């Protein structure tokens, strides 16, 4: 934490943008010095050799090029020797070392140095590209706070967030990031949640509202009551998923890795065969140096650098592009899966709608003479205060309860139906009409014609009235559906909801959905997805609640709204939309398609050029220079192609 001179109630400006250069950056830049100097001396040596300077002959030329080779290729040869000592001889380091040292043995000094130099430059380009892809991911990893002010024994002390307990109060000053999840104790706050949601617009919250680690306090110092330990904050969980993401390889990546292990020993022995077998057919016409040179050229060409470098880099770039767009892919395998999705299934509340409900109307049943609107809403609110559902929160907020007046007991939440319990002397049921059907309570059948979401109330086993609740579509919900419809492979867009069919149909009509099914329990959603899977469809399911977790796990690609979604949904999902924007579903598919396209371009490029030049080299029609171009040149082209994904615009 930086030192500030601003006291509580005093705003102060803090510049978090200035950071000392990392050791990694400094080290990375220094690595270019030796190859750059070596290139200058190599070019000078080639010119002296070409113009036939009298002094530049053996042994001077050998010593000259040898020094350059040791400078640039020494670490590679040393690594090759270490691997050979461990019994690993079939790798790119050994191949490059044998080929380049062999070039010296046949007098191709400049060619040997060139092969090694371009290989090292290719490795540096690869590292540069990987670092570029890492930046967007590492930017997220820097969000965590290392120090926090904790209120203890009447004053604030500095602690590491790991040492802060639940229910302790922490203070966050203007410009600082919030260290832990909690509840706002101060009267109000203005926060920037860009690190979590990608949206930089300030979010104004009030006392009692939830705040998340990673948000930035914009105005006055605020106090927060901690609700989660450091390791259990939503931010910590997301960061852990980010760090694990790169380790999960796609099938294409795994295939290339397996092929490289088989491919390398095959070409190694083919090179030896190319050198030895012609002796038995040519007899006295066999010239060892000629076939030895061809074998070396064959080895240089066959080195699988382009494949083993560019393909993981392509997937890494795809994960980085997703992170930049507020989408976390938990592994490169999910980038591949996104390309196969033909059916997108979405939950309604919290996914397509904001999930921020407001009470519109309270209606008392005409048969109830002793119950008025105030009593109905109070009883319902006391019962619903035991639930964290957005609809329950809306009712509690609207009632503005005095908790000393009523107490709830024997409360039971009936999944997909509602709540049951005792409030004072009243037995209360609050939920959908299925709840009343379950307890065989007669109610006004005209309720089924109301298009708004309703919570039906029964008091002492008698229908007492209902509360209408309003939810609104997310700003980009229509854009989300429109963008999905543009994707050729996506044939069906389905919405599943526990809300009644009239409400679901109304939203489906507004958005232009293929299909919308309402009145579903969590287990019903599973059945609907299973039904689609039996039809051979590849399904991406998008949800945000705890009840969505089983369906997210069941689908081919599970997607969760990560900004405000439940921990269960986030941990179960394969892809997390940190911005809570449904339009990012299409963006995720676009990133998957772009990554897949680049990966296969690199595979075709690398294999096509290598096979062609291998054939030419075997017949003596390719020199060491063509080998250099086929190996390092193709690797560089593949790397540059893979880097393209990080420059693409995936915004809708």
**DSSP per position, 335-362:** HHHHTT--EEEEESBTTTB----EEEEE
Query: Looking at the structure, do residues 525 and 444 belong to the same domain, yes or no?
Result: no
Query: Looking at the structure, do residues 346 and 480 belong to the same domain, yes or no?
Result: yes
Whether residue 363 contacts residue 483, with contact meaning beta carbons closer than 8 Å, is answered with: no
What is residue 119's predicted lDDT score, i.e. its pLDDT?
Answer: 76
Q: Which of 93-102, 308-317, 532-541 has the lowest mean pLDDT?
A: 308-317
Q: Which helix (H) or strand (E) holds 543?
A: strand 539-543
Report if residue 622 sits inside a domain: no
Report if residue 113 sits inside a domain: no
Whether residue 208 contacts residue 183, with contact meaning beta carbons closer than 8 Å, is answered with: yes
What is residue 250's predicted lDDT score, i.e. its pLDDT?
Answer: 46
- CATH classification at residue 416: 3.40.1110.10
Residue predicted with more confidence, 588 or 322? 588
What is residue 316's predicted lDDT score, i.e. its pLDDT?
Answer: 79
Handedness of CA 146, 149, 153, 155 (dihedral sign): positive
Mean pLDDT, range 233-244, rounded to an integer: 59
At residue 154 the predicted structure's pLDDT band, cuts being 50, 70 and 90, is confident
Cβ neighbours for 651, distance < 8 A, ≥ 6 positions apart: 325, 587
At residue 567 the predicted structure's pLDDT band, cuts being 50, 70 and 90, is low
Query: Looking at the structure, do residues 502 and 580 belong to the same domain, yes or no?
Result: yes
What is the domain count for the chain? 3
Mean pLDDT, range 465-488, rounded to an integer: 90
Q: Which helix (H) or strand (E) holds 223?
A: strand 222-226
What is residue 194's predicted lDDT score, i.e. its pLDDT?
Answer: 57
What ranges in 60-91 are assigned the alpha helix state H?
60-85
Query: Looking at the structure, do residues 348 and 380 belong to the same domain, yes or no?
Result: no
At residue 535 the predicted structure's pLDDT band, cuts being 50, 70 and 90, is very high
Cβ neighbours for 89, distance < 8 A, ≥ 6 positions apart: 83, 268
Residue 539 has pLDDT above 90, yes or no: yes
What is residue 27's predicted lDDT score, i.e. its pLDDT?
Answer: 41
Query: What's the mean pLDDT when you consider all of the chain?
Result: 80
At residue 198 the predicted structure's pLDDT band, cuts being 50, 70 and 90, is very low
Written as one string, the DSSP assignment of 437-452 is HHTT----GGGGG--S
Nearest to 210 by CA among 199, 195, 225: 225
Q: CA-CA distances (angstroms) from residue 587 to 81, 572, 649?
A: 46, 20, 10
Q: What is the pTM (predicted TM-score) of this model? A: 0.63
State what percent of residues in the chain have pLDDT above 90: 27
**Angle CA(70)–CA(73)–CA(79) in degrees, nearest 5?**
115
d(CA 35, CA 586): 43
Nearest to 126 by CA among 629, 634, 643, 647: 643
Exposure string (b/e) for 536-569, b if CB count within 10 Å is 16 or more? Answer: ebbbbbbbbbbbbbbbbbbbbbbbbbbbbbbebb
Peptide bond into 636 cis (omega under 30): no
- CATH classification at residue 213: 2.70.150.10
What is residue 585's predicted lDDT score, i.e. its pLDDT?
Answer: 94
Cβ neighbours for 572, distance < 8 A, ≥ 6 positions apart: 549, 552, 553, 558, 560
User: What phi and psi, each to the nearest 5 degrees, are found at residue 558?
Assistant: -90, 130
- CATH classification at residue 507: 3.40.50.1000
Cβ neighbours for 8, distance < 8 A, ≥ 6 positions apart: 171, 221
Whether residue 606 contacts residue 641, with contact meaning beta carbons closer than 8 Å, is answered with: no
Mean pLDDT, range 553-565, rounded to an integer: 79
Query: Looking at the structure, do residues 453 and 479 belong to the same domain, yes or no?
Result: no
State what percent of residues in the chain have pLDDT above 70: 82
Exposure string (b/e) for 260-270, b if CB count within 10 Å is 16 or more? Answer: beebbeebbeb
Q: Around Cβ 12, how many Cβ atoms within 10 Å?
A: 13
454, 470, 486 - which closes a domain: 470
Query: Looking at the structure, do residues 453 and 531 belong to the same domain, yes or no?
Result: no
Nearest to 602 by CA among 333, 321, 307: 307
Report if residue 626 sits inside a domain: no
d(CA 436, CA 429): 8
d(CA 14, CA 100): 55
Mean pLDDT, range 594-618, rounded to an integer: 85
* Residues 54-110 pLDDT 10s: 888 888 999 999 999 999 999 989 998 998 898 887 777 887 788 788 778 878 788
The DSSP bridge pattern shows strands 453-459 and 169-172 to be: unpaired
Report if residue 7 sits inside a domain: no
Mean pLDDT, range 468-480, rounded to an integer: 87
Mark whether 347 is an active-site residue.
yes
Q: Around Cβ 416, how many Cβ atoms within 10 Å?
A: 18
d(CA 317, CA 119): 22
Partners of 344 in beta bridges:
493, 540
What is residue 99's predicted lDDT score, i.e. its pLDDT?
Answer: 74
d(CA 522, CA 527): 9
Residue 9 has pLDDT above 70, yes or no: no
Q: Around Cβ 97, how many Cβ atoms within 10 Å?
A: 21
Query: Looking at the structure, do residues 448 and 495 belong to the same domain, yes or no?
Result: no
Query: Looking at the structure, do residues 349 and 497 belong to the same domain, yes or no?
Result: yes
Q: Around Cβ 345, how many Cβ atoms within 10 Å?
A: 24
Query: Looking at the structure, do residues 388 and 342 belong to the same domain, yes or no?
Result: no
Mean pLDDT, range 500-504, rounded to an integer: 83
Helix (H, G, I), strand (E, B) or coil at 619: coil
Whether residue 594 contacts residue 645, with contact meaning beta carbons closer than 8 Å, is answered with: yes
Residue 568 has pLDDT above 70, yes or no: no
d(CA 68, CA 86): 28
Written as one string, the DSSP assignment of 180-208 is S-EEE-SSEEEEE-HHHHS--S-EEEETT
**CA atoms within a 13 Å half-sphere pointing along the CA-CB vector of 515:** 12
Looking at residue 633, the DSSP 8-state letter turns out to be I
Q: Which of 347, 499, 544, 631 is catalytic?
A: 347
562, 592, 622 - which closes a domain: 592
Query: Looking at the structure, do residues 502 and 410 belong to the same domain, yes or no?
Result: no
* Residues 360-388 pLDDT 10s: 899 999 877 788 898 999 999 999 988 87
Query: Looking at the structure, do residues 564 and 496 belong to the same domain, yes or no?
Result: yes
Report if residue 248 sits inside a domain: no
What is residue 18's predicted lDDT score, i.e. its pLDDT?
Answer: 34
Cβ neighbours for 531, distance < 8 A, ≥ 6 positions apart: none
185, 216, 233 - which closes a domain: 233
Residue 646 has pLDDT above 90, yes or no: no
d(CA 629, CA 635): 9
Report if residue 39 sits inside a domain: no
* Residues 292-304 pLDDT 10s: 888 877 777 776 6
Whether residue 642 contacts residue 317, with contact meaning beta carbons closer than 8 Å, is answered with: yes
Looking at residue 249, the DSSP 8-state letter turns out to be -
* Residues 400-449 pLDDT 10s: 876 667 888 999 988 778 899 999 889 999 998 889 999 999 998 888 78
d(CA 131, CA 128): 5
Residue 135 has pLDDT above 60, yes or no: no
Report if residue 31 sits inside a domain: no
Mean pLDDT, range 199-227, rounded to an integer: 81
User: What phi and psi, each to the nearest 5 degrees, are found at residue 192?
Assistant: -105, 120
Helix (H, G, I), strand (E, B) or coil at 597: helix
Residue 470 has pLDDT above 90, yes or no: no
Domain that holds residue 459: 358-470
Written as one string, the DSSP assignment of 154-181 is TEEEEE-GGGPPTT-EEEE-TTPBP-S-
Mean pLDDT, range 37-45, rounded to an integer: 92
d(CA 23, CA 29): 10
Residue 330 has pLDDT above 50, yes or no: yes
Peptide bond into 59 cis (omega under 30): yes
Report if residue 550 sits inside a domain: yes
Query: Looking at the structure, do residues 367 and 434 belong to the same domain, yes or no?
Result: yes
What is residue 26's predicted lDDT score, i.e. its pLDDT?
Answer: 36
User: What phi and psi, each to the nearest 5 degrees, are found at residue 576?
Assistant: -115, 125
């Amino acid at each position: 934490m930086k030192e500030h001179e601003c006291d509580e109630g005093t705003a102060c400006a803090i510049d978090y943008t200035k950071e000392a250069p990392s050791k990694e950056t400094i080290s990375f830049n220094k690595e270019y010095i030796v190859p750059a100097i070596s290139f200058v001396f190599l070019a000078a040596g080639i010119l002296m050799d070409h113009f036939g300077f009298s002094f530049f002959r053996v042994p001077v030329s050998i010593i000259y090029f040898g020094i350059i080779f040791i400078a640039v290729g020494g670490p590679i040869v040393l690594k090759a020797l270490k691997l050979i000592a461990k019994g690993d001889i079939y790798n790119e380091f050994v191949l490059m070392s044998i080929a380049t040292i062999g070039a010296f043995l046949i007098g191709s000094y400049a060619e040997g140095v060139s092969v090694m130099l371009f290989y090292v430059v290719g490795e540096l380009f690869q590292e540069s590209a990987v670092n570029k892809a890492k930046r967007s991911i590492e930017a997220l990893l820097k969000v965590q706070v290392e120090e926090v002010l904790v209120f203890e024994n009447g004053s604030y002390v500095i602690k590491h967030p790991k040492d802060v307990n639940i229910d302790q109060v922490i203070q966050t000053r203007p410009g600082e990031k919030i260290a832990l999840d909690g509840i706002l104790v101060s009267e109000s706050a203005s926060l920037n949640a860009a690190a979590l949601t990608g949206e930089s617009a300030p979010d104004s919250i009030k006392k009692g509202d939830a705040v998340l680690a990673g948000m930035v306090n914009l105005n006055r110092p605020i106090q927060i009551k901690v609700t989660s330990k450091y390791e259990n904050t939503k931010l910590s969980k997301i960061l852990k998923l980010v760090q694990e993401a790169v380790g999960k390889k796609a099938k294409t990546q795994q295939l290339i890795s397996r092929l490289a292990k088989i491919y390398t020993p095959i070409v190694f022995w083919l090179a030896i065969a190319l050198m030895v077998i012609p002796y038995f057919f040519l007899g006295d016409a066999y010239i060892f140096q000629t076939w030895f040179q061809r074998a070396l050229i064959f080895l240089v060409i066959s080195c699988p650098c382009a494949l083993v470098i560019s393909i993981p880099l392509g997937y890494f770039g795809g994960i980085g592009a997703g992170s930049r767009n507020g989408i976390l892919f938990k592994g490169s395998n999910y980038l591949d899966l996104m390309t196969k999705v033909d059916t997108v299934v979405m939950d309604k509340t919290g996914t397509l709608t904001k999930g921020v409900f407001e009470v519109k109307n309270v209606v008392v049943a005409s048969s109830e003479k002793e119950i008025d609107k105030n009593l109905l809403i109070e009883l319902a609110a006391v019962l619903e205060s035991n639930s964290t559902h957005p609809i329950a929160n809306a009712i509690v907020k609207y009632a503005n309860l005095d908790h000393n007046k009523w107490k709830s007991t024997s409360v039971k939440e009936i999944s997909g139906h509602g709540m049951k319990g005792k409030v004072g002397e009243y037995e209360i049921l609050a939920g959908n009409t299925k709840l009343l059907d379950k307890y065989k309570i007669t109610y006004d059948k005209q309720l089924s014609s109301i298009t708004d979401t309703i919570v039906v109330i029964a008091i002492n086993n008698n229908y007492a009235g209902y509360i209408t609740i309003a939810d609104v579509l997310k700003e980009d919900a229509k854009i989300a559906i429109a963008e999905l419809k543009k994707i050729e492979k996506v044939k069906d867009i389905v919405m599943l909801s526990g809300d009644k069919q009239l409400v679901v149909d109304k939203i489906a009509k507004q958005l232009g959905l293929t299909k919308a099914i309402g009145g579903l329990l969590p287990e019903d959603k599973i059945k609907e997805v299973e039904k689609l899977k039996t039809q051979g469809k590849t399904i991406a399911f998008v949800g945000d609640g705890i009840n969505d977790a089983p369906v997210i796990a069941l689908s081919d690609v599970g997607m969760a709204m990560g900004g405000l979604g439940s921990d269960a949904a986030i941990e179960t999902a394969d892809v997390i939309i940190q911005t809570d924007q449904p339009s990012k579903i299409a963006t995720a598919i676009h990133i998957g398609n772009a990554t897949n396209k680049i990966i296969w371009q690199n595979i075709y490029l690398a294999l096509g050029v290598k096979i062609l030049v291998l054939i030419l080299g075997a017949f003596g029609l390719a020199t060491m220079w063509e080998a250099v171009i086929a190996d390092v040149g193709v690797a560089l082209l593949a790397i540059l192609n893979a880097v393209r994904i990080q420059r693409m615009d995936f915004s809708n």
